[in-house]
């Protein structure tokens, strides 16, 4: 009855209410209010472990090492960064804010990576001060800026990776594909006009020319919510070819290659997520075959899953406020079920047309199912939480609704649209709740307003 897309700790109690990790969601709503993100800690830890052990087994089997970085952009809080690190993952950050949270969690700088296509000088300096394990260079101009920052601090050479765009177009939506040519990220592998080197090669040469920088490796991230894994292998082969070409030119074989994140998850009942064992084995086989073909030693490999680790761990709990049946042109009836949140706590349906599922959380019902659209409380009609879902026809104000698989890019992309305070993230573990990020209040909003 539960199972994907719900977290592994989600069950129906004998009286029909939903529970997560032994916590009755009615009690959670009474204690913490709604809307609330409900995060199943054991499920998070299990997914983190599953990725780590799948990749470790697959890459150890081909004879090299692998690091799994948790991509904090999916959702980051101090506790979550700590859990990821305790489960043997490193932490990938993309801004100074994410870096600050990872550091506050006690993650050692050496286990943190910093991305960003437009890092500020302050972010670069902070990363250097923290001794991050790697800065991922996203543009030619950044090479000089990092080198200058190292020089200004008279610090050790900074470990850098160069992010390349492999031309692979993958992912759930145009806005989340990141390795085709016509977008902002990374350095292209396509040579310039009149025999000029590709932007990627130009950046690699620039890094090698600066004693303040240590070229650790190459980076490729092709997109997000990817359900067809073939793109990862194509991208890996392109990156490994560049690595071999650079070694032929300079005599330096970069020791590491990062193949990014992007593993797709289940959002709807019946969706089949990527399986960590399968991806890890396929990627290891692709890396092994490509290196054998190119005649190069294997690199140390890393990957950066975010969504696949935190996405399925969380459901959002809402209270139904109003119910409005509408007769459509074709005679069908669609019931608009308005909840006490919306696009401010889950922007993905409005931004990407993302599909979600919803179920009654406070009870079950034997009423017939009705075509429903779950909508929020914001001032626009695109404020949709679940585009289409069958809910019991007696769904009524006061019912609790739960929307699963909201752990990734839910709270992390939440806003204060319409001055709505953002919901808390409540972890549930062994029958107990713990607030990881508290609910915002109107006082928080007013505190920012200088009058
Ligand atoms: N590494 C890099 C360099 C990335 O840019 C990303 C995601 C990841 C790793 C993690 O990807 P994941 O495993 O979570 O798919 N807001 C969008 C997703 C944007 C992803 C941005 N980069 C969404 O809600 O679908």
Could you tell me if 312 and 5 are in contact, meaning their C-beta atoms sit under 8 angstroms apart? yes
Q: Cα of 324 to ligand 1 centre, how many Å? A: 36
H or E segment and range at residue 127: helix 121-130
Please give the pLDDT value at position 188: 95
| Residue % of the chain over a pLDDT of 90 | 95
For the Cβ of 223 lying below 6 angstroms from any atom of ligand 1, the answer is no
The string of pLDDT tens digits covering residues 43-98 is 999 999 999 999 999 999 999 999 999 999 999 999 999 999 999 999 999 999 99
pLDDT in tens, 243-261: 999 999 999 999 999 999 9
**Gyration radius from the chain CA atoms:** 23
pLDDT at 171 over 80: no
262 in contact with ligand 1, CB cutoff 6 A: yes
| 263 close to ligand 1 (CB < 6 Angstrom) | yes
Beta strands 300-303 and 333-339: pairing type?
unpaired
Question: Which residue of 94, 224, 349 sits with most ligand 1 atoms within 8 Å of its CB, as the best mutation to test the pocket?
Answer: 224
Ligand 1 atom closest to 311 (CA): 14
- pLDDT at residue 174, rounded to an integer: 61
CA distance 237 to 123: 32
Q: Is the CB of 306 under 6 A from ligand 1?
A: yes
Whether domain 64-304 has CATH 3.20.20.10: the reply is: yes
Instruction: Return the biggest CA–CA distance within the chain.
Output: 73
pLDDT band at 180 (very low <50, low <70, confident <90, very high): confident
Q: Whose C-alpha lies nearest to ligand 1, atom 8?
A: 261
pLDDT above 60 (res 1): no
CATH 2.60.40.10 correct for 10-40+312-448: no
Number of H helices, E strands in the chain: 12, 21
Distance from the alpha carbon of residue 408 to the mean position of ligand 1, in angstroms: 9
Q: Which of 266, 304, 305, 406 to mutate to test the pocket of ligand 1 (most atoms within 8 A of CB)?
A: 304
Cα of 222 from ligand 1 centre, angstroms: 9
What CA–CA distance (Å, rounded) separates 208 from 214? Answer: 7
Task: Give the pLDDT of residue 173.
Answer: 63
Per-residue pLDDT tens over the stretch 206-226: 999 999 999 999 999 999 999
**pLDDT, position 177:** 64
Mean predicted lDDT score pLDDT of the chain = 96
Is residue 437 within 6 Å of ligand 1 at its C-beta? no
Residue 332: per-residue pLDDT: 95
Residue 219 alpha carbon, nearest atom of ligand 1: 3
Q: What is the 126 CA–ligand 1 centroid distance (Å)? A: 23
Residue 385, classified by CB atoms within 10 Å of its CB into exposed (0-12), middle (13-18) or buried (19+), is: buried
Strand partners, 400: 319
The pair of structure tokens assigned to 349 is 């349906």
* Residue 379 is a catalytic residue: yes
pLDDT at 372: 98
Q: Is 34 in the pocket of ligand 1 (CB under 6 A)?
A: no
pLDDT in tens, 16-37: 999 999 999 999 999 999 999 9
Strand partners, 301: 66, 257
Q: Model confidence over 398-409: pLDDT tens digits? A: 999 999 999 999
Residue 168: predicted pLDDT: 87
Asked if 321 contacts 338 with a C-beta cutoff of 8 angstroms, the reply is yes
DSSP type of residue 396: -
Q: Which residue puts its alpha carbon closest to atom 6 of ligand 1?
A: 261
Is the Cβ atom of 307 under 6 angstroms away from ligand 1? yes
Tokens found for residue 371: 């075509």
- Which of 114, 117, 307 has most ligand 1 atoms within 8 Å of its beta carbon, as the pocket-test mutant? 307
Instruction: Evaluate if residue 10 carries a pLDDT over 60.
Output: yes
The pLDDT score that the predictor gives to residue 183 is: 84
Closest by Cα among 374, 310, 352 to 40: 310
Rounded to the nearest whole angstrom, what is the distance from the C-alpha of residue 261 to the centroid of ligand 1?
A: 7
Distance (Å, rounded) from C-alpha 91 to C-alpha 419?
32
CA distance 243 to 300: 12
What's the CA dihedral at 293, 295, 301, 304 to 10 degrees? Answer: -40
Q: What is the pLDDT of residue 172?
A: 60
253: helix, strand or coil: coil
Which 8-state DSSP code applies to residue 317?
Answer: E
Residue 48: left if φ>0, alpha if ψ -120 to 50, beta else—which one?
alpha
Please state the domain extents for the chain. Answer: 10-40+312-448, 64-304
For residue 176 and ligand 1, the question of a CB distance below 6 A is answered with: yes
Q: Which of 291, 315, 372, 379 is an active site residue?
A: 379
On whether the pTM is more than 0.95, the answer is yes
115-145 burial code (b ≥16 CB/10 A, e <16):
bbeebeeebbbbbbebebbbbbbbbbebbee
- The answer, yes or no, to whether any atom of ligand 1 lies below 6 A from the CB of 224, is yes
302: Cβ below 6 Å to ligand 1? no
3-state class of 261 per DSSP?
coil
């Amino acid at each position: 009855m539960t199972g994907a897309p719900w977290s592994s700790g989600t069950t129906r109690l004998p009286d029909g209410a939903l529970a997560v990790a032994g916590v009755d969601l009615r009690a959670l709503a009474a204690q913490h209010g709604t809307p609330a993100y409900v995060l199943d800690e054991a499920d998070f830890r299990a997914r983190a472990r599953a990725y780590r052990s799948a990749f470790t087994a697959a890459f150890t089997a081909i004879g090299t090492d692998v690091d799994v970085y948790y991509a904090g952009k999916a959702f980051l809080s101090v506790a979550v960064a700590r859990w990821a690190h305790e489960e043997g993952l490193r932490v990938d950050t993309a801004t100074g804010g994410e870096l600050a949270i990872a550091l506050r969690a006690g993650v050692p700088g050496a286990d943190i990576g910093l991305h960003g296509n437009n890092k500020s000088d302050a972010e670069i300096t902070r990363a250097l001060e923290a001794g991050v394990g790697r800065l991922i260079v996203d543009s030619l101009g950044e090479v000089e800026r990092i080198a200058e920052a190292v020089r200004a601090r008279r610090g050790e050479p900074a470990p850098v990776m160069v992010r390349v765009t492999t031309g692979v177009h993958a992912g759930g939506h145009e806005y989340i594909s990141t390795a085709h040519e016509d977008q902002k990220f990374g350095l292209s592998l396509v040579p310039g006009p009149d025999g000029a080197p590709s932007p990627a090669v130009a950046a690699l040469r620039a890094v090698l020319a600066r004693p303040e920088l240590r070229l650790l490796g190459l980076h490729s991230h092709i997109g997000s919510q990817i359900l067809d894994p073939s793109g990862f292998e194509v991208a890996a082969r392109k990156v490994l070819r560049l690595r071999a070409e650079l070694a032929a030119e300079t005599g330096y074989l970069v020791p590491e290659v990062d193949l990014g994140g992007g593993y797709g998850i289940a959002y709807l009942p019946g969706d089949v997520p990527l399986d960590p064992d399968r991806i890890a084995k396929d990627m290891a086989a692709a890396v092994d075959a490509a290196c054998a073909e190119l005649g190069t030693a294997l690199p140390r490999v890393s990957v950066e899953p975010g969504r696949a680790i935190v996405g399925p761990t969380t459901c959002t709990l809402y209270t139904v406020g109003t119910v409005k049946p509408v007769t459509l042109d074709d005679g069908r009836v669609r019931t608009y079920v308005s909840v006490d949140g919306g696009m401010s706590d889950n922007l993905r349906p409005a931004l990407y047309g993302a599909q979600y599922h919803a179920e009654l959380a406070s009870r079950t019902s034997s009423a017939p199912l009705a075509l429903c659209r779950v909508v929020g409380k914001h001032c626009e009609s695109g404020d949709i939480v679940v585009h289409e879902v069958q809910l019991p026809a007696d769904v009524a104000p006061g019912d609790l609704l739960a929307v699963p698989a909201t752990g990734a890019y839910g709270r992390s992309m939440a806003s204060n649209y319409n001055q709505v305070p953002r919901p808390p993230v409540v972890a549930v573990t062994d029958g107990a709740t713990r607030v990881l990020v508290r609910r915002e209040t109107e006082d928080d909003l007013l505190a920012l307003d200088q009058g």
